[in-house]
Structure 1
Amino acid sequence: MPQFLRRFLPLLSAVLVLAVLAPAAARAEALETPAREAILIDLSTHTVLFEKNSDELMTPSSMTKLMTIYILFEKLAKGAIKMEDTLPVSERAWRMAGSKMFVKVGERVAVSDLIRGIIVQSGNDACVVVAEGLASTEEAFAAQMTAKGKELGLKSSTFKNASGWPDPDHRMTARDLSVLAEHLIEDFPQYYPLFSETSFRYNNINQQNRDPLLTSFPGADGLKTGHTEDGGYGLVGSAKRDGRRLLLVINGLNSMKERAQESARIMDWGFREFQTYTMAKKGEALADAKVWQGEEDSVPLTVAADAQVTLRRVDRAAMVVKVVYDGPIPAPIAAGQQIASLEITAPNMPVISVPLVAAKEVPRQGVIGRIFGSFRYLLSGDAS
């Protein structure tokens, strides 16, 4: 655009309302829970459906073991260790109290058994075997856990051991646990089904998985429970229904029964009250943006990938969808170039902004065309 024309052609804010619907007549009641910390996330759109003290430091108890498993899965995926490999049991591991896999001092245990001993049986002894086998000492392994947590985006987690054994400096947040759980689900789909195993037998001792959702909540497939006197009863759980996956972290409950009831109740609330809606499909023309000095007067807008939003069903009727851009858009415009945004608003949710791109290329006009276009604008104010 010629410099002298810029004072005649300020960028205009163009807003096209695609959908404005009447406000909903009813409101869903806010969720309350006796859990001290909680967070519920729809992983299909990474929407937080509910949270309570989700960034407060807390005792993660045996939910810590998810990080031990993550490091073990990562080494398996990279080929640094194999399922059939065995790790030695030290006296320190054998003497570990609390929940146990019941390994024997001096024996070697297959990695495949240790994984199940940690996930299903919540074995503190199995965690020490893994920590010492992979890092020589549990202290060194805990340092690796903290470093890996920072790498994965855990902003507030400090690990002092591999099992979640009580330590005043061993802390996580509910949000960090949700981030870790999502990584386990997304990064290791080949191993994730291990979290849905309901029992495991080792050394002639059969133990049941402590996750209450696995046997009572349709669609549940993991991940881990935890309990200490300081932390209370907690759970990191996930369930999938009709293509939607919800992830729940709760902690600070008073009993196993309360943990089972609350985890199922909150999960059910999330599936019942919320729905994921497709707002735009990839390649679908949503609107046209005006073009300045292009071979065409406008360019169709689309999304680079399907745009979805998760919100309460009762808020669907109050949703507003807008196309927003500063225009007209100066040519040339490349296909796929981001030139606008799709803004979605609804009650009780932050504004969601989805990038919109040009659905086709629009070359710049030749010199003569640009001159005539400039004079046309000066005479009529029409920038097209």
Structure 2
Amino acid sequence: MFFSSLRRLQICFIVASLAFGLPVQAAYARSRVSEIVVDASTGTVLFSQAPDAARRPASLTKLMTLYLAFEALADGRLRLSDPLPISRRAARQPATHLGIAAGGRITVGKALDAIAAISSNDLAVAVAERIAGNEPKFARLMTAKARQLGMRNTRFTNASGLTSAGNVTTASDMAKLSRAIVRRFPRQYARFSRRTIQWRSRRIGNHNHLLGRVAGVDGIKTGYTSDAGYNLAASAMRRGRRIVVVVLGETSVSARDARVANLIELGFTGSRSKARRIRRR
């Protein structure tokens, strides 16, 4: 492959680190970071580093929560206009959340928007309970679906991705899930591209800072816990070609965003990064 040379890759990351104002040592050769670049159409791996190392998915878990919700919409078990009740368990979930009190309701459509854009933990649990009756049962469905999608090294124990001993995945598996969402649910995938969502009087920004800042990026999702580090699955389309990039375990938002932006450039051009500095909202 055209980026098989480690030296060439390191040079590319050095260029990116300068472009993003990062220390050079933070931009490459951190073995605990997993990353992969995949052609979304063919599944061809264009570049990877530790793609099959076991990692905590953090809120990338919600990609599977959303996948199962999209399936339920497709086969009629859910409708976007359906009211989604908030249980005590859902209401107790820590941030990020919308903070709806137990007994409250929100439509399924608005809930999916909040999960996709701002990683709402309370609504992830509410969706799980609506589909499967309870979160543990839903987690088993998540793991079963992972196996169907060829995600052999992934296991889910909750719907949100909050730290749990059994929650584990790999960059390779998350790339498979991201591709599956893009390919099977193109209309629902548009939810990941919304830069803001409206909730009551609040307008809340999408956690994916690459939207509108890196050419072609139109999804997909961020994740963070102290155990997992900073994770991001991103997808971009240029000139009719789509790639998926997954980075797991970075040390900061800025380092994660810079790494993903650079990998997107590598995926499309095989040359050094042309990405500009990503500024947080």
* TM bucket, shorter chain: 0.7 to 0.9
C-alpha displacement of 1:30: 3.3
- The yes-or-no answer on 1:30 pairing with 2:27 is no
1:101 paired to 2:83: no
- Cα drift, residue 29 of structure 1: 4.5
Partner in structure 2 of residue 261 of structure 1: 258
Give, in angstroms, the shift of residue 71 of structure 1.
Answer: 0.1
Which AA in structure 2 matches 1:60? P
CA–CA distance in 2 between the matches of 1:30 and 1:222? 28
Q: Is the 8 A contact 1:101 1:118 kept in 2?
A: no
Task: Give the Cα separation in 2 of the matches to 1:104 and 1:49.
Answer: 46
Q: Distance in 2 between matches of 1:126 and 1:205?
A: 17
Alignment match of 2:48 (pick from 44, 48, 51): 51
1:271 maps to a residue whose letter is: F
Q: Is the 8 A contact 1:184 1:192 kept in 2?
A: yes
Alpha-carbon RMSD: 1.6
Structure in which a larger fraction of residues adopt helix:
2
Using structure 1 for the length normalisation, give the TM-score. Answer: 0.63
1:120 matches 2:117: yes
Structure-1 residue corresponding to 2:13:
none
Deviation at 1:172, TM superposition (A): 0.7
Q: After the TM superposition, which residues 252-291 of structure 1 pair with which residues of structure 2 at under 5 Å, given as runs?
A: 252-273=249-270
**Counterpart AA for 1:253:** E
Per-residue deviation, residues 91-146 of structure 1 (Å, max 9, x unmatched): 11111102112222211210001101100111000101101111111111101101
Query: Cα distance, 1:28 vs. partner?
Result: 9.1
Match of 2:16 in 1: none
2:215 aligns to what?
Answer: 218
Hey, which of these two has a bigger chunk of strand by percent? 1
Distance 2:102 2:203 in 1: 19
> What's the CA shift string for 1:51-109, capped at 9, x where partnerless?
11111111000011000000000010111111001111011111110211222221121
SS at match of 1:103: coil
**Whole-angstrom CA distance in 1 between matches of 2:200 and 2:65:** 22
> 2:245 matched to which residue of 1?
248
CA distance in 2, matches of 1:111, 1:44: 30
Query: Which amino acid is 1:100 matched to?
Result: H
Secondary structure of the equivalent of 1:270?
helix
Superposed, 1:11-160 pairs within 5 Å as 29-32=7-10, 33=28, 34=30, 36-160=33-157
Counterpart selection for 2:206 from 190, 209, 229 = 209
Of all paired residues, the percent bearing the same amino acid is: 37
**For 1:63, what is the secondary structure of its paired residue?**
helix
Written as runs of structure 1 = structure 2, the 5 A alignment for 1:128-207 is 128-207=125-204
Cα drift, residue 44 of structure 1: 3.3
**Is the Cα–Cα contact under 8 Å of residues 38 and 54 in structure 1 kept in the other structure?**
yes
Structure 2 letter corresponding to 1:73: F
Q: After the TM superposition, which parts of structure 1 deviate over 6 Å for at least 4 consecutive aligned residues?
A: none
Matched positions, count? 249
Answer whether contact 1:101 1:121 (CA < 8 A) is retained: no
Residues 296-311 of structure 1 mapped to structure 2, 5 A cutoff: none
State the one-letter code of the partner of 2:205. Answer: Q
CA distance in 2, matches of 1:129, 1:106: 11
Helix, strand or coil: the match of 1:54? coil
The AA in structure 2 aligned to 1:89 is I
Using the TM superposition, give the Cα deviation of residue 46 of structure 1 relative to its aligned residue in structure 2, in angstroms. 2.3
Instruction: Answer yes or no: is the 8 Å Cα contact 1:199–1:208 preserved in 2.
Output: yes
Rounded Cα–Cα distance in structure 2 between residues aligned with 1:216 and 1:28: 27
Q: Distance in 2 between matches of 1:43 and 1:193?
A: 16
